[in-house]
Chain A
Amino acid sequence: MLLEINDLRVRAEDKEILKGLSLSVDAGQVHAIMGPNGSGKSTLARVLAGHPGYEVISGTVTYDGKDLLALQPEERAHEGVFMAFQYPVEIAGINNTYFLKAALNSIRKHRGEQELDAVEFMQLVRGKAKALDMDQAMLSRSVNEGFSGGEKKRNEIFQMAVLEPRLAILDETDSGLDIDALKIVSKGVNALRHPSRAIVVVTHYQRLLNYIVPDFVHVLNDGRIVRSGGKELALELEDKGYGWIETAAATAGSR
């Protein structure tokens, strides 16, 4: 298993958000995590990336045989973990290309690979930027500053394409995208599907899964995975709505 989450309980401030979540993801697989607002989807994504705003109460997360929770955010990135942010952060004054080169070289250095110089780096990114319909201007602007919602999401996928993670977590990458942008982003994600790589797609809507077709779908409710299945589960969910899951969960709980 590339990622093994076992009975994970997490709180933010005083509120428990993940209440015993377990999930196994293997290389080569695409998992979709769906759930209503407040079910803990984004918390799961952020905890895996090492966001400092959460406290792990109990449980374990093993990634490639290592205790993921013991690693700093940058160490997780070095080990191949990448999270596409739901709300990518704007950083005025840091050039997008410069930032990405620093990130890539930091990861390469960790792997014992030669750092890329400016020319080599530009050669690497040019093609990847084009595939995501990102122009030169976007590359040379400050990180996400003044980007539209769609541009920000494309920039996340572009970073992912350049950093080539082993575990990619997409946190509601589809939210706020129009259909054209959704197609571009999905194409970018699908291009990264690889037997050595796992992708976890966190989404509220089934629509994205028409374009990024998952191997497994998990439904998260109140901090736990309440149902798992194949891609047809997403369609069933879309059809019946989240109320169905919430009712089912409540019934199961009262039994």
Chain B
Amino acid sequence: MPVAERQSTYVTAFEALRGSADAGPDWLREAREAAFGRFLEHGFPTTRDEEWRHTNVKPIADTTFEPAASLALSRDILAPASFNEDAAAEIVVVNGHVSQTLSSLQGLPRGVTVRSARESWPAPRVERPADEAASAPAGPRVATATAFTDLNLAFFEDAIVIHVDPKTIVRSPIHVLFVSVAGAAPAMASPRLLLEAGEQSQISIIESYVGVGEGVTLANAVTEFRIDAGAVVNHVKIQRELATAFHVAHMLARLGRSANLVSHAISLGGRIARNDIVAVLDGEGAECVLNGLYVADGDTLIDTHTTIDHAKPHCPSHELYKGILDGRSRAVFNGKIIVRPDAQKTDAKQTNKALLLTDDAQINTKPQLEIFADDVKCTHGAAIGQLDDDQMFYLRSRGIPELDARNLLIHAFANDVLTGMKIEGVRDRVMHWLEEKLRLPAA
């Protein structure tokens, strides 16, 4: 399909949005126009773009997506995806639209406010990530705007804004559940989430993505975290979309002085799932942990690009990403670590491991270190392999049958990441979903 024709559906959709109140206030209309202009100019990335070298988004570009409509869903359909038991509040977003009826905010702790941007235009101001990066300190630019973030900005239906007042301590997590509803025609949703954690506050956020129905969907998400000085944020992202779904997500976290972010990204679904995660350590002593576990089978492609931007001194960062690849699935991991000239005493550690369960599974992994300071510690390591023969033999020699031994080793591989997840109920659910996905018996 020629580019112009492929984009014509987006043009039609954008014209419809332009003529409606949904486009929002003037400043947002302007931002949307600019973003859509950039999208039309550059189009979708191709494998000639370095950042997309191993991920061909042609299946997305070739699909004619309509902006997904607001829909009413029954509570029963979503029950299996609910974290009600572990969460203080649950915000349900269907096709990018907040569902007041499905959300439950009664348990929202004092000091935490949840707003839907749609209800309170023009505030809050939603910026595109690149505008934030422009104010970054000396050193390389982090190009965070892509065709997908532009597309999100042009079309996003609503934005969830979670604001935590300074010194507010929230122990139970807040769950934001994004639902993609598949139907006869391919549907695109553009969810957007903004967390503002005030100084010395503490909060846990579960961000999950699921699909219902049958058909093709695209969730093109943007998540922003602003973590002020001394704030502590625990974040879990769980992506379990349909096997026919496309998932493209962009997360940008900016950490102030001595702020702390622990983020776990779990990818279990989708046909193509791409995660761009950028953490900017923008205050002295800020610390981040970016961990991830992805599981793929069939023809799935899971791509993770992380960037940890050490902008200030004395910041530790730890990164552990693990993948389990079955069938003919493929994965991409690109871990960029930038250490800017000011960021002395940086302590960055990156580890990427992949377990290939078949000969056809494949991974492309690349550490990318850009270091401009001289008194720093940066280590990276990648290990890719099949199940370890020595470990298999050791377990079997003790009487554990071959299939059980294999099962144990896969669990152990995943556990390495999951044990870092602080909320037990969430960890157990994730393990259960992983077992389902790989058809493993529970260990």
A88 touches B412 (CB 8 A): no
Once the chains bind, are A77 and B398 in contact (CB under 8 Å)?
A: yes
Chain B contacts with A in 383-424, Cβ cutoff 8 A = 388-391, 393-402, 404-405, 408-409, 411-416, 419
CA distance A82 to B391 in the complex (A): 16
State whether A72 touches B396 (Cβ < 8 A).
yes
**B412: which of A72, A83, A91, A100 is its contact (CB, 8 Å)?**
A91
Query: Any chain B CB within 8 A of the CB of A65?
Result: no
Which of A91, A100, A142 has the most chain B CB within a 10 Å cutoff? A91
Compute how far the CA of A91 lies from the CA of B397 in the bound complex, rounded to whole angstroms: 14
Contact of A89 among B391, B401, B415 (CB under 8 A): B391
Interface 0/1 of A88-103, CB less than 8 Å to B: 1101111000011011
Q: How far apart are the CA atoms of A93 and B398 in the complex, in Å? A: 17
Establish whether residues B416 and A93, one from each chain, have CB atoms under 8 Å apart when the complex forms. yes
The docked-state distance in angstroms from the alpha carbon of A203 to that of B49 is: 60
Query: B405 to chain A: which residues have CB within 8 Å?
Result: 74
Pairwise interchain contact A74-B400, C-beta atoms closer than 8 A: yes
Note all chain B residues with C-beta closer than 8 A to A110. Answer: 399
Residues A91 and B391 in contact, CB atoms below 8 Å apart: yes
> Which of the listed residues B390, B398, B401, B412 has the most CB atoms from chain A within 10 Å of its own CB?
B398
Q: A residues 33-65 with Cβ under 8 Å of B? A: 49-53
Measured in the bound complex, the distance between the Cα atoms of B396 and A100 in whole Å is 12
CB distance from A41 to the nearest CB of B (A): 17
A106/B391 in contact, CB under 8 A: no
A20 at the interface (CB under 8 A from B): no
User: In the complex, A91→B406 CA distance in Å?
Assistant: 12
**Residues 59 to 81 of chain B near chain A (Cβ within 8 Å):** none
A73 close to chain B: CB less than 8 A: yes
A77–B397 CB distance below 8 A = yes
Q: Which of B389, B404, B411 contacts A106 (CB 8 A)?
A: B404
Chain B residues near A159: list those with CB within 8 A: 398
Distance of B431 from chain A, by nearest CB (Å): 12
Give, as a whole number of angstroms, the nearest-CB distance from B425 to chain A.
Answer: 20
- Shortest distance from the beta carbon of A202 to any chain B beta carbon, whole Å: 15
Complex: how many Å from CA A78 to CA B398?
A: 8
Residues of A within 8 A of B (CB): 49-53, 72-74, 76-78, 82-83, 85, 88-89, 91-94, 99-100, 102-104, 106-107, 110, 142-143, 159, 163
A89-B394, A104-B399, A159-B398 provided; 6 other pairs, C-beta below 8 A? Answer: A52-B389, A73-B397, A82-B397, A82-B398, A89-B391, A102-B408
Please name 30 pairs of A and B residues whose Cβ atoms are closer than 8 Å in the assembled complex, sorted by A: A50-B396, A51-B393, A73-B393, A74-B397, A74-B400, A76-B397, A77-B398, A78-B399, A82-B397, A82-B398, A83-B397, A85-B394, A85-B397, A88-B394, A91-B394, A92-B412, A93-B411, A93-B412, A93-B414, A93-B415, A93-B419, A94-B408, A94-B409, A94-B411, A102-B408, A103-B395, A103-B400, A106-B400, A107-B399, A163-B399
